[in-house]
A and B are shown apart, each in its own frame.
Chain A
Amino acid sequence: MRIRLAVLAALALWGVTGCGDDAAAPAAGESGVTGGVTVFAAASLTESFTQIGKDFEAANPGAKVTFNFAGSSQLATQINEGAPADVFAAASPSTMKTVTDASNGDGTPVTFVKNQLVIAVPKGNPDGVTGLADLTKPGVKVALCAEQVPCGAAARKALDTAGVTLTPVTLEQDVKAALSKVKLGEVDAALVYRTDAKASTSDVDGVEFPESAGAVNDYPMVVLKDAPHKAAARAFVTYVQSDRGVAVLTAAGFQAPQ
């Protein structure tokens, strides 16, 4: 009998406090939005947006944020083909353009963060990589993103700026896949976003290189024209740009938009 009570009490406590992680205190002055919001966001926003989503739900009881994280171009295609989404956060202006050109955006997209590339190497940097030039050494296997993806376009730009000719062993379809190749030990290095390296800090180290400043990616975000939940969508976009949202994004390694 006592045990049963204890179990019930524990369950009740668990239900009340949420699944165990510490949600931040809700930002002051938020209006309460309810209902669902569907956010299509670039893969590199996975960790930070997931956290922001939880914070948003805490600040707006009754709200539920659902995410679809994938390569920006894939998301853009899905949106243009009519996928039901409320907000689109892309990893490059060009992918956002495909959506706005198809008149699927509501208003002008707002750039909310920037992202820069780093060289991801196995934890401890066993090969002593210090810059892009080290990646051209014979026998070094490098994974890049395919150029059709924003991360790949940025890598191309950075390499061209540095005047480095690099032959990767693979051109991955999104940045997470490129990073996982490093984690699995199949490649010696990959060009990924600073945020991705930071998110996997237990498995990889991120090596900064100067030329990355010339290939910075702006991340635009927009509410979609056919969004089923316009009010909640606008509230989410505002929340991302609020102090709390910015704090999460900066901690993840993104840079402020200006």
Chain B
Amino acid sequence: MTVAKPRRVGGRVPLPLVIPAGLGLLFLVLPLAGLLIRAPWTTLPQRLTEPGVLTALRLSLQTATLATLLCLVLGVPLAWLLARVEFPGRRLVRALVTVPLVLPPVVGGVALLLVFGRRGIVGGWLDSTFGITLPFTTTGVVLAEAFVAMPFLVIAVEGALRGADTRYEEAAATLGAGRWITFTHVTLPLVAPGVAAGAVLCWARALGEFGATITFAGNFPGRTQTMPLAVYLALETDLQSAIVLSLILLAVSVTILASLRDRWITGP
């Protein structure tokens, strides 16, 4: 008499998927483990309260959030244009949107200087007309972070818009909704999870940005020294200090990202 194997509720996970998945997870998590093992746990408390640390952290969180907001304001309409409007050269525009992904961040920073710097095409005009300078300012940090992070948002939102059912927009029209109201009251709510996912990616990328920030905005504590910059400089003299700063940044961002409810990002 054979005894039946108890069926586990939850489906069968094929082994050929589990193994690479496990390796993938290990690959991503081992460097983090390396940091945790080498961290100076005994001196951690006093390192945490050093003055520059909290300043850099606060600046990082502020600029990343502002950069994400900027990306939303500019990126969502751009994504809509790419997804819904047929215009000549659309494929080229879509390719151009991904340029910041391919460009080394430092080169991106130099490019930003050439446009928005003191002698830049736009920056020079801003300086002479309004007295506004962008390099070496917190605004400059936001600009640099937004530049490298925007493609993530645009691509995610464009994908969501393409997948959205346009028939709901027709239904809205039959009920008397004009195009703008349809966009804000029907389209956006429908793609909200996709927009949220894109915003999360955007925020995370902005938070970790280094090359473009240090090239365009420079490094000055309290004004432009974000956490990644602080880590890099700490690396010059004190590896332990750099590890601590990295762990703080990681802890804060993981906490924030883990607290985002699944269904906000994956949809109803």
Contact = CB atoms under 8 A, between A and B. Distances in A.
B211 to A, nearest CB: 11
Interface stretch (A33-41, A163-171, A241-249): A163-171
A149 B236 contact: yes
Contacts of A77: 235-236, 239
Name the residue in B136, B214, B217, B234 with the highest tally of chain A Cβ atoms < 10 Å from its Cβ: B136
B151 interface: no
Interface in A186-218: 186
A169 B136 contact: yes
A185 B235 contact: no
B113 A148 contact: no
B224 interface: yes
A71 B233 CA distance: 10
B235 A74 contact: yes
Contact of B218 (A71, A80, A169): A169
A186 B135 contact: yes
A184 interface: yes
Name the residue in B119, B236, B237 with the highest tally of chain A Cβ atoms < 10 Å from its Cβ: B236
Interface in B183-220: 214-215, 217-220
B117 interface: yes
Contact-residue size bin, chain A (C-beta under 8 Å from the other chain) = 20 to 34
B237 A170 contact: no
Interface string B93-122: 000000000000000001001100111000
Nearest to B106: A177
B232 interface: yes
A173 B232 contact: yes
A222 interface: no
Contacts of B215: 177
B236 A171 contact: no
A80 B113 CA distance: 35
A141 B214 CA distance: 16
A172 interface: yes
A148 B237 contact: yes
Interface residues of B, number: 23
Contacts of A149: 236
Nearest to B232: A173
A146 interface: yes
B236 A143 contact: no
A157 interface: no
B237 A73 contact: yes
Contacts of B235: 73-74, 77
B234 A171 contact: no
Name the residue in B119, B224, B237, B239 with the highest tally of chain A Cβ atoms < 10 Å from its Cβ: B237
B239 A146 contact: no
Nearest to A80: B239
Contacts of A141: 136
Nearest to A150: B236
B219 A74 contact: no
Contacts of A168: 220
Contacts of B219: 146, 170-173
A181 interface: yes
Contact of A74 (B110, B135, B236): B236
Nearest to B210: A173
B236 A73 contact: yes
A143 B118 contact: no
A77 B234 CA distance: 11
A184 B219 CA distance: 16
Interface in B207-254: 214-215, 217-221, 224, 232-237, 239
Given A148-B237, A184-B117, A173 B214 contact: yes
B113 A146 contact: no
A146 B233 CA distance: 8
Interface in A57-93: 71, 73-74, 77, 80
B237 A169 contact: no
Contacts of A148: 233-234, 236-237
Given A73-B236, A141-B136, A148-B236, A186 B118 contact: yes
List 4 A-B pairs, minimum CB-CB distance, nearest first: A170-B218, A73-B236, A148-B236, A169-B136
Given A148-B233, A170-B136, 15 more contacts: A71-B236, A77-B235, A80-B239, A148-B236, A170-B220, A171-B221, A171-B233, A172-B218, A172-B219, A173-B219, A177-B214, A177-B215, A184-B114, A186-B118, A186-B135
29 contacts: A73-B236, A74-B236, A77-B235, A77-B236, A141-B136, A146-B236, A148-B233, A148-B234, A169-B136, A169-B218, A170-B218, A171-B218, A171-B219, A171-B220, A171-B221, A172-B214, A172-B218, A173-B232, A173-B236, A177-B214, A177-B215, A184-B113, A184-B114, A185-B117, A185-B118, A185-B119, A186-B118, A186-B119, A186-B136
